[in-house]
Amino acid sequence: MLDTGSLPELPRAERVEVVDSWLAALLDDAVAGTPPPRAKRGSAPPRTGTDGVALVAVGSHGRRELPPHGDLDLVLVHDGRPEIAALADAVWYPVWDAGLRLDHSVRTVSEAVGVASTDVKAGLGLLDVRLVAGDAGLAAALRTATLASWRQSASRLLPQLRDLRRGRARQVGELAFLLEPDLKEAYGGLREGQVLRAVAAAQLADDPAPEVEEAYALLLDVRDELRRRSGRPTDVLVRQEQRPVATELGLADEDALLREVSLAGRRLAFVADETWRRVESTLVRRPGARYRRVRREPLADGVVRQGDEVVLARDARPATDPGLVLRGAAAAARADLLLSPYTLKVLAVHSPPVPEPWPAEVRWSFLRLLASGRSAVPVLEQLDQEGLLSRLLPEWDRVRSLPQRHPWHRFTVDRHLVEAAAAAAELTRDVDRPDLLLVGALLHDIGKGWPGDHSEVGEPIAAAIATRMGFAETDVAVLAALVRHHLLLPDTATRRDIDDPATVDRVAATIGRDPAVLQLLHALAQADGAATSSSAWSPWKAHLVAALVARVQGRLGSAPAPEPEPVLHPVEPQVSSGPSDLPGGPAGVTVGVEDVADGQQVTIGAPDRHGLFSSLAGVLALNQLDVRAAKVNVLDGQATAVFAVRPRFGRAPVPAILADAVRAALEGTLPLADRLRQREADYRQDAGRAAPPRIAWHNGEVTGDATGIVEVRAGDRAGLLYRLTAALAAEGLDVTSARIETLGADAADHFYVSNPAGRPIDAEQRSRVESALGAAVRGAVPEPVTGTGDTPG
């Protein structure tokens, strides 16, 4: 009996040998234990032994890649033996009894070939047919017939296979850029290695190169270790398994593992893309069509267009022309083409180093490549895969396939930089120095390959690169400033009150008196956000950044500076409750709603009272409105609160419903805490994460009524803003303004707070506030605060 419990611990090759030996014994026992049928009079005597029957492995088992807890893919091939059903049962049942997963079939050679010629998945599996036991001649006949059928059916089956892989790529994603990649089905995963071999078997491409086989082998090793550790047949490298898998494979940590997986996936995807281009160009040729000479069209000095790719001109001299690499790449991108694989290999082998500083012609070609926008992305990937990009920018190796754990990011660091440069190409007409914008976008996160704050670390690195590129000293300083301050505008706009003159003064002082730097930083923020994700650059965020830029431009004197309209501005009420017996005065509750960028602004008027801000935040949370910014003003005992909101489920706020809810909350008839707890239980995806919150104070950045800014970063969940502001109110602090930012599953909330008496927030009170905020993040809600106050909270 097979010891299935020990199989996962065996090395891959030994695991296959053990299983094969056991299966061979099963077939021998089956043949010995199954009596042949009685021969009919005048017919040939029945055959004995394994003559005319073969047990063959296909799929991963056929490739000797059987993973731990993997399926056994077996075919019992026969040439018409009448007792084949009994033989099959005698083999399959012991496999099931051993608790192994089995994908099985019983076929003659003609039946198997017939299935393979119509079902692309079955055909792909049968290409890996391997004899386990039985009639070797029969297994060889199956393999020969399958290969012949595959080649004959290639024009029909390969397009199906291509579409199948592209569909999986859209559904699962690209292996190189996933934080929890599917090692098998993601594009660039193990399936790509199998497809490349299938295309080679159809004689439409060469066998995979050694570096492709190495990438494939790495993914096999990672999958085997993942399955061994998890104890189940999974191919998804989830976060909790990454560190132990990395340790077992001798890698430093989970980031090192993801980086190796990304590099392997990118190599497989890159070769697969090139292979499919070759296959498509071959399949579209009409059978029997006469050979037609391909026209060669000059594109730049030393490169020509030949068909659908860029190749070297006949008079090109790559060994003596250091500018040819970038000149050819720029020409390809401008024509929306790719360099031919052979041309890439020639350039990789023969191109000399670029002189330093770069000659003007080389720098111009590089800028022309970046300015090509989206069509530059695959060309830069070609240069990267052949090692040419790292020759031009040695610092690039530090960010190649470097994972980004932030949930906003769609790409590894290097691909994000390329995508940012492509996005910046769409904005070059908005700036006076498009060359600095393009290079700044490509280098803005270059510091992520080194320890420390990537903006600070990246500044001298970008300066060194710009100097090597031959930029003037003043331009080098601007590029260094772009890298150092590329987060200044979005961070300030989303976390500080941009209507506060002190905020505008700090931004202006940081960037200096040059309006061109502000212009470039604005464009860079847009490109960076677009290259990150739609969540990272929403219309609301774009609106905030643009408003901040307008204010700073006015402060720098580079634009007319009329008094700007506040970002959060009250709108006329649409619903009013009129005078009431609400505590705090005769006025009632008013609510107005206005559509703005990516959401609405809700203006609520109510009698001023301590804890009002928290009550209003709770009402908005109950109405499934996510708050992104808020500000409160008080005049003669009446508070006016303006909230920028976005409906969580697409339903715009209704003024009358909000007014009734606010009134009930202030009268004490709406139990906000209980209702929000129930809402959180109903929407379990809002459950808080176990990581503790991060709380920071920024008291040196406030002016006006506020005496401090407290920043809270915690897992986002329903009612979080209500609980945080309730905790602040319970500790005697009023909230005058708030900036709320959701970072994937995290919330980054910034509150402008003050003591009603106007005294500074001392260390003892800070400690109490931090404890209260931590408890609020964990779900605690202080008792409602009642009473009036000179400033809202």
User: Rounded CA gap, 740 and 721, in Å?
Assistant: 9
Q: What is the pLDDT of residue 230?
A: 92
The alpha carbon torsion through 339, 341, 343, 346 (nearest 10 deg) reads 140
The conformational region for residue 133 under phi > 0 = left, psi -120 to 50 = alpha, else beta, is beta
Q: What is the pLDDT of residue 689?
A: 47
Q: What is the pLDDT of residue 368?
A: 95
Q: What is the pLDDT of residue 538?
A: 84
**173-200 pLDDT tens trace:** 999 999 999 999 999 999 999 999 999 9
Q: How far is CA 210 from CA 15, 204, 213, 780, in A?
A: 24, 18, 5, 59
Confidence of residue 33 (pLDDT cuts 50, 70, 90): confident
Closest CA to 752 of 632, 646, 640: 632
**145-180 pLDDT tens trace:** 999 999 999 888 999 899 988 888 889 999 999 999
Q: For the chain, what percent of residues have pLDDT higher than 90?
A: 61
For helices 473-484 and 515-532, what crossing angle results, to 10°?
A: 50
Q: Let me know whether 551 and 422 are in one domain.
A: yes
Element housing 247 (H / E): helix 239-248
Q: What is the CA radius of gyration of the chain?
A: 34
User: Rounded CA gap, 663 and 665, in Å?
Assistant: 5
Do residues 710 and 693 make contact, with C-beta atoms less than 8 angstroms apart?
Answer: no
User: Rounded CA gap, 752 and 732, in Å?
Assistant: 14
User: Rounded CA gap, 252 and 355, in Å?
Assistant: 36
Q: What is the pLDDT of residue 50?
A: 78
Residue 786 in tokens:
């009642």
Q: Let me know whether 420 and 518 are in one domain.
A: yes
**Of 566, 583, 600, which residue constitutes the final position of a domain?**
566
Q: Let me know whether 243 and 144 are in one domain.
A: no
Q: What is the pLDDT of residue 303?
A: 96
User: Is 41 part of a structural domain of the chain?
Assistant: no
More confident residue, 284 or 659: 659
Residue 439 in tokens:
């290079």
Q: Kindly give the pairing relationship between strand 575-576 and strand 338-339.
A: unpaired
Domain with 502 in it: what CATH number? 1.10.3210
Domain with 130 in it: what CATH number? 3.30.460.10
Q: What is the pLDDT of residue 409?
A: 84
**656-679 pLDDT tens trace:** 999 999 999 988 899 888 888 887
Q: Let me know whether 103 and 170 are in one domain.
A: no
Q: Is the pLDDT of residue 125 over 80?
A: yes
Do residues 734 and 779 make contact, with C-beta atoms less than 8 angstroms apart?
Answer: no
User: Rounded CA gap, 90 and 28, in Å?
Assistant: 10
Q: What is the pLDDT of residue 785?
A: 53
Q: Is the pLDDT of residue 791 over 80?
A: no
Q: Is the pLDDT of residue 203 over 80?
A: yes
Q: Let me know whether 27 and 140 are in one domain.
A: yes
Peptide bond into 357 cis (omega under 30): yes
Q: Is the pLDDT of residue 686 over 50?
A: no
More confident residue, 46 or 663: 663
HEC profile for 503-541?
Answer: HHHHHHHHHCCCHHHHHHHHHHHHHHHHHHCCCCCCHHH
User: Is 291 part of a structural domain of the chain?
Assistant: no
Q: Kindly give the pairing relationship between strand 53-57 and strand 130-134.
A: antiparallel
Q: What domain count does the chain have?
A: 5
User: Rounded CA gap, 483 and 50, in Å?
Assistant: 72
User: Is 786 part of a structural domain of the chain?
Assistant: no
Q: Which residues of 648-779 form beta strands (DSSP E)?
A: 694-697, 708-715, 734-743, 746-754
More confident residue, 493 or 42: 493
Confidence of residue 788 (pLDDT cuts 50, 70, 90): very low
Q: Is the pLDDT of residue 254 over 80?
A: yes
Do residues 152 and 204 make contact, with C-beta atoms less than 8 angstroms apart?
Answer: no
**Of 283, 311, 342, which residue constitutes the final position of a domain?**
283
Average pLDDT, the chain: 88
Tell me, what amino acid is at 748?
Answer: A
Confidence of residue 577 (pLDDT cuts 50, 70, 90): low
Establish how many alpha carbons lie within 13 A of residue 83's alpha carbon, considering only the half-sphere containing its beta carbon. 21
Q: 3-state DSSP helix/strand/coil percent for the chain, to nearest 5?
A: 50, 15, 35
Q: What is the pLDDT of residue 449?
A: 87
Element housing 382 (H / E): helix 376-385
Burial 366-398 (b: 16+ CB within 10 A, else e): bbbbbbbbebbebbbbbbbbbebbebbbebbeb
Do residues 378 and 344 make contact, with C-beta atoms less than 8 angstroms apart?
Answer: no
Any idea which residue has 């010995």 for tokens?
Answer: 32
User: Is 397 part of a structural domain of the chain?
Assistant: no
Confidence of residue 286 (pLDDT cuts 50, 70, 90): very low
Q: Let me know whether 119 and 177 are in one domain.
A: no
Domain with 582 in it: what CATH number? 3.30.70.260
For 598, residues 6+ apart whose C-beta sits below 8 A from its C-beta are 538, 539, 540, 543, 646
Q: What is the pLDDT of residue 345?
A: 95
User: Rounded CA gap, 204 and 211, in Å?
Assistant: 19
**Of 120, 152, 184, which residue constitutes the final position of a domain?**
152
Q: Is the pLDDT of residue 707 over 70?
A: yes
Closest CA to 138 of 66, 199, 53: 53
Element housing 627 (H / E): strand 625-635
For 220, residues 6+ apart whose C-beta sits below 8 A from its C-beta are 12, 65, 67, 190
Highest-scoring range by mean pLDDT, 25-39, 353-367, 613-627: 353-367
User: Is 233 part of a structural domain of the chain?
Assistant: yes
Closest CA to 366 of 398, 320, 400, 334: 334
Do residues 183 and 223 make contact, with C-beta atoms less than 8 angstroms apart?
Answer: yes
Q: Give me the DSSP letters along 308-342.
A: TEEEE-TT--GGG-TTHHHHHHHHHHHTT-EE-HH
Highest-scoring range by mean pLDDT, 577-586, 677-686, 748-757: 748-757
User: Is 62 part of a structural domain of the chain?
Assistant: yes
Q: Is the pLDDT of residue 135 over 50?
A: yes
Closest CA to 448 of 436, 439, 456: 456
Tell me, what amino acid is at 629?
Answer: A
Q: Let me know whether 468 and 354 are in one domain.
A: no
The whole-number average pLDDT for the span 445-450 is: 94
For helices 324-334 and 341-350, what crossing angle results, to 10°?
A: 160
Q: Kindly give the pairing relationship between strand 694-697 and strand 625-635.
A: unpaired
Q: Let me know whether 219 and 350 are in one domain.
A: no
Q: What is the pLDDT of residue 756?
A: 76
More confident residue, 639 or 700: 639
Q: Let me know whether 264 and 338 are in one domain.
A: no
User: Is 783 part of a structural domain of the chain?
Assistant: no
Q: Determine the 3-state secondary structure of 672 from DSSP.
A: helix
Confidence of residue 634 (pLDDT cuts 50, 70, 90): confident
For 562, residues 6+ apart whose C-beta sits below 8 A from its C-beta are 554
User: Rounded CA gap, 206 and 275, in Å?
Assistant: 9
Q: Which of 307-316, 512-521, 527-536, 777-786 is the least confident region?
A: 777-786
Residue 451 burial class via C-beta count within 10 angstroms: exposed 0-12, middle 13-18, buried 19 and up = exposed
Domain that holds residue 141: 4-36+48-152
Do residues 335 and 309 make contact, with C-beta atoms less than 8 angstroms apart?
Answer: no
The whole-number average pLDDT for the span 382-407 is: 94
Q: Let me know whether 661 and 771 are in one domain.
A: yes
Q: What is the pLDDT of residue 311?
A: 96
Q: What is the pLDDT of residue 454?
A: 96
Q: What is the pLDDT of residue 635?
A: 84
Q: What is the pLDDT of residue 790?
A: 38
User: Is 422 part of a structural domain of the chain?
Assistant: yes
Q: Let me know whether 314 and 422 are in one domain.
A: no
Q: Let me know whether 628 and 664 are in one domain.
A: yes
Q: What is the pLDDT of residue 366?
A: 97
Do residues 268 and 186 make contact, with C-beta atoms less than 8 angstroms apart?
Answer: no
Domain with 235 in it: what CATH number? 1.20.120.330
Confidence of residue 793 (pLDDT cuts 50, 70, 90): very low
Q: What is the pTM of this model?
A: 0.84
What does DSSP assign to residue 40?
P
